[in-house]
C-alpha cells in the first residue's frame, strides 16, 4: 500500500513539473503587464496620502489598503496593454511588451486585468470603506474607458485629461485612512495632475515618429516639437506655486517648501532649456523626463518625512505632558498625606 501511494505521489510530481516550469516561464509576462515602474510610483503617492491623513489606521488594514491599490494600479496597466496591443506592436518602445511578443494572449490579459481590478475594489469595499473602493474603481475605469479607449486615439489633450486617473492614488490613500475626501489630498491630486503633461510629453518628444506610425495624436505629432516644449514650460511653471500649497495649508513644513522651490526651479530650468532648443535636443528631453520622476518622488518623500517628524514630536510632547501631570498628581498626593 505504501509503495502504491509513493508511486502515485511520484507520478503526480512528475506530471506537475512541466506545469511549474511553464508557470515560472510565463510569470514575468504577467508581472510586466502590470507596468511595475508606473505602479510603484502610484503606490508610493497613495502611501503618502494614507500616512499624512489624520488619525491612525491599523497596520494590517494599512497594508491591505496599499496592496489593494497596487492591485488596482496593476489592473489598469494590464487592461491598458490588452486594449492597446495593436498599437503596441507598431512602436519600438512597446513592441517588447508581453502581448505583442505572444508571451500572454489578449484573452488571458483581459481575464487577468478584470480579476485583479475587481478583487482590489472588492477588498477595499469589504475590509476598508466604500469611499476608497469607489475612488479606486473610478480611477481604473477612467484610465481604461476615458483615457485608453476614448482620448488616447482621438485628441492631443489625451494625457492632460487622462492624467486625472494617475493623480488619484493619494486621494485613495487618504480615503482609505479616513473614509472621506479633504482639501489636503486634493492638493496632492493637483500636483500630480500638473506634473503629468510635462513628464509624459518629454518622453513623447523623442518618440514622435513612433506615435505618428501608430496614428496616436500625441501633442508632438499634432502640434510639433516647438508647441509641445512651450506647453511643457507652461505646466512646469504652474507646478511651482501649486507644489507650495501644502505649506500654505499647514501640512508642509519650511523644509518641504525649500525642497519644493529648489526642485521646482530645477524642473523649470530643464523645461526652459528644452524649449530653447525647440525640442531638437533629445538629451534635454531625456534629462527632463528622468528628473520629473525624481522630482515627484522627492516631493512626496519630503511630505512623508514631514508627517513622520511631526507625529514623532507630537508623541514626545504628549508623553512629556502625561509625565508632568503624573508628577503633579504625585506631589499633590504627598502634600495631602502630610
Residue 108: which CATH number? 1.10.357.140
Residue 290 lies in a domain: yes
Q: Are residues 271 and 161 in the same domain?
A: no
Q: What is the pLDDT of residue 336?
A: 47
At residue 82, the 3 state secondary structure works out as helix
Whether the Cβ atoms of residue 55 and residue 174 lie closer than 8 Å to each other: no
Q: Name residues whose C-beta falls within 8 Å of residue 109's C-beta, 6 or more positions apart in sequence.
A: 33, 78, 79, 81, 82, 85, 98, 99
Question: Among the three residues 181, 211, 229, which one is the final residue of a domain in this structure?
Answer: 181
Give yes or no: residues 36 and 174 share one domain: yes
Domain boundary (125, 157, 181) is at 181
* Rounded-to-integer distance, Cα 8 and Cα 188, Å: 59
Under the banding of pLDDT at 50, 70 and 90, the label for residue 20 is low
pLDDT, tens only, 51-65:
999 878 889 999 999
Of residues 336 and 311, more confidently modeled: 311
Tell me, yes or no, whether 337 lies in a domain. Answer: no
Considering only residues 106 and 307, tell me which one the structure prediction assigns the higher pLDDT. Answer: 106
Q: Is residue 204 part of a domain?
A: yes
Sorting pLDDT into bands at 50, 70 and 90, what band is 49? very high
159 and 221 in a common domain: no
Q: Clarify whether residues 153 and 203 are in a common domain.
A: no
C-alpha cell read off for 263? 526642485
- Residue 27 is predicted with a pLDDT of 81
pLDDT of residue 321: 44
CATH, residue 204: 1.20.120
Domain count of the fold of the chain: 2
In this structure, are 190 and 134 located in the same domain?
no
Residue 325 lies in a domain: no
| Residue 15 pLDDT | 47
257 and 311 in a single domain? The answer is: yes
What pTM was estimated for this model as a whole? 0.86
Is residue 8 assigned to a domain?
A: no
**279 and 160 part of one domain:** no
Are 47 and 171 within one domain? Answer: yes
Do 207 and 136 have their domain in common?
no
Same domain, 37 and 140: yes
Give the range among 26-30, 44-48, 257-261 with minimum mean pLDDT. Answer: 26-30
Has residue 45 been placed in a domain?
yes
Average pLDDT, the chain: 86
Cα 171 to Cα 46: distance, rounded to the nearest angstrom: 7
Domain boundaries, position 167: 30-181
Query: Residue 168's Cα: distance from chain center in Å?
Result: 8
Contacts of 218 (CB under 8 A, 6+ apart): 156, 158, 159, 201, 204, 208, 211
145 and 55 share one domain: yes
Residues 168 and 216 both lie in one domain: no
332 occurs within a structural domain:
no
Amino acid at each position: 500500500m505504501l509503495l502504491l501511494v509513493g508511486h502515485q505521489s511520484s507520478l503526480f510530481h512528475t506530471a506537475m513539473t512541466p506545469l511549474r516550469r511553464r508557470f515560472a516561464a510565463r510569470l514575468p509576462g504577467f508581472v510586466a503587464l502590470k507596468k511595475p515602474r508606473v505602479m510603484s510610483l502610484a503606490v508610493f503617492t497613495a502611501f503618502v496620502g494614507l500616512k499624512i491623513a489624520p488619525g491612525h489606521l491599523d497596520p494590517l488594514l494599512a497594508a491591505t489598503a496599499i496592496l489593494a491599490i497596487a492591485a488596482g494600479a496593476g489592473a489598469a496597466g494590464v487592461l491598458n496593454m490588452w486594449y492597446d496591443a495593436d498599437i503596441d506592436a507598431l512602436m519600438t518602445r512597446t513592441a517588447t511588451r508581453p502581448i505583442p511578443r505572444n508571451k500572454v494572449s489578449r484573452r488571458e490579459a483581459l481575464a487577468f486585468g478584470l480579476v485583479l481590478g475587481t478583487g482590489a475594489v472588492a477588498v477595499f469595499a469589504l475590509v476598508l470603506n466604500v469611499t476608497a473602493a469607489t475612488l479606486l474603481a473610478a480611477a481604473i475605469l477612467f484610465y481604461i474607458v476615458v483615457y485608453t479607449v476614448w482620448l488616447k486615439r482621438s485628441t492631443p489633450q489625451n494625457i492632460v485629461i487622462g492624467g486625472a486617473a494617475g493623480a488619484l492614488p493619494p486621494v485613495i490613500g487618504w480615503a482609505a485612512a479616513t473614509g472621506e475626501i479633504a482639501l489636503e489630498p486634493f492638493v496632492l491630486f493637483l500636483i500630480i495632475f500638473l506634473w503629468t503633461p510635462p513628464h509624459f510629453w518629454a518622453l513623447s518628444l523623442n518618440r514622435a515618429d513612433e506615435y505618428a506610425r501608430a496614428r496616436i495624436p500625441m501633442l508632438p505629432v499634432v502640434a510639433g516639437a516647438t508647441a509641445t516644449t512651450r506647453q511643457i514650460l507652461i505646466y512646469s511653471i504652474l507646478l511651482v506655486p501649486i507644489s507650495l500649497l501644502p505649506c500654505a495649508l499647514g501640512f508642509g513644513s519650511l523644509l518641504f517648501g525649500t525642497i519644493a522651490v529648489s526642485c521646482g526651479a530645477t524642473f523649470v530650468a530643464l523645461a526652459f532649456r528644452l524649449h530653447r532648443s525647440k525640442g531638437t535636443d533629445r538629451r534635454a528631453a531625456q534629462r527632463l523626463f528622468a528628473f520629473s520622476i525624481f522630482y515627484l518622488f522627492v516631493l512626496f518623500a519630503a511630505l512623508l518625512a514631514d508627517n513622520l517628524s511631526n507625529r514623532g514630536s507630537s508623541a514626545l510632547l504628549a508623553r512629556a505632558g502625561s509625565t508632568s501631570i503624573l508628577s503633579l498628581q504625585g506631589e499633590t498626593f504627598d502634600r495631602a498625606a502630610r
